[in-house]
């Protein structure tokens, strides 16, 4: 699965946020846009897989925080059950910068999504 597949699962079911929020900013006379993976009332959260492509997650979270005035956070999706070199680099840099850092198992997120309807289902028993 791709990073984009996990963002709505994590953002909606765990973080109570809005996925893929767009923000504009200007540089000189040019207008640009960035997309925050998950935004809550208090945080901007960059979500990435445990791969080299996520090495810019901390920079993105800090930039989003500067744009929005919200606290930055980085969440990695663990696909192999161990902390590899990229996860170590991101975790170490996030700790040094004072940025919230979390890891979720890809398997756990998929199981949680597949069974979410069971947790939402309410059964009324006779006599209750």
Residue-wise pLDDT for 60-109, tens only, equals: 999 999 999 999 999 999 999 999 999 999 999 999 999 999 999 998 88
Indicate the number of domains in the chain: 1
Measured distance CA(1)–CA(29) in Å, rounded:
39
The candidate with the shortest Cα–Cα distance to 50, out of 83, 92, 94, is 83
Residue-wise pLDDT for 109-127, tens only, equals: 888 777 776 667 666 777 7
Measured distance CA(103)–CA(82) in Å, rounded:
11
**Residues contacting 44, CB < 8 A, separation 6+:** 36, 38, 61, 64, 65, 67, 68, 70, 71, 72, 73
Measured distance CA(18)–CA(16) in Å, rounded:
7
Q: Is residue 122, in this structure, part of any structural domain at all? A: no
pTM score: 0.85
Q: Is residue 32, in this structure, part of any structural domain at all? A: no
Q: Is residue 27, in this structure, part of any structural domain at all? A: no
Token couple for 4: 């984009």
Q: Is residue 126, in this structure, part of any structural domain at all? A: no
Q: Is residue 26, in this structure, part of any structural domain at all? A: no
Q: Is residue 31, in this structure, part of any structural domain at all? A: no
Mean predicted confidence (pLDDT) in 4-17: 90
Domain span at residue 60 reads: 3-21+37-116
State residue 114's pLDDT score: 78
Tell me the H-state helices in 1-128. 3-13, 57-68, 85-97, 106-114, 116-120
Q: Is residue 111, in this structure, part of any structural domain at all? A: yes
């Amino acid at each position: 699965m791709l990073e984009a597949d996990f963002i709505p699962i994590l953002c909606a079911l765990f973080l109570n946020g809005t996925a893929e929020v767009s923000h504009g900013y200007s540089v000189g006379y040019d207008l640009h846009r960035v997309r925050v993976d998950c935004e809550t009332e208090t945080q901007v959260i960059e979500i990435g897989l445990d791969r080299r492509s996520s090495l810019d997650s901390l920079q993105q979270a800090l930039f989003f925080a500067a744009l929005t005035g919200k606290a930055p956070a980085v969440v990695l999706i663990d696909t192999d059950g161990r902390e590899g070199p990229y996860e170590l680099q991101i975790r170490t840099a996030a700790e040094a910068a004072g940025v919230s850092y979390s890891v979720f198992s890809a398997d756990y997120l998929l199981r949680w999504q597949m069974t979410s309807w069971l947790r939402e289902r309410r059964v009324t028993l006779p006599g209750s």
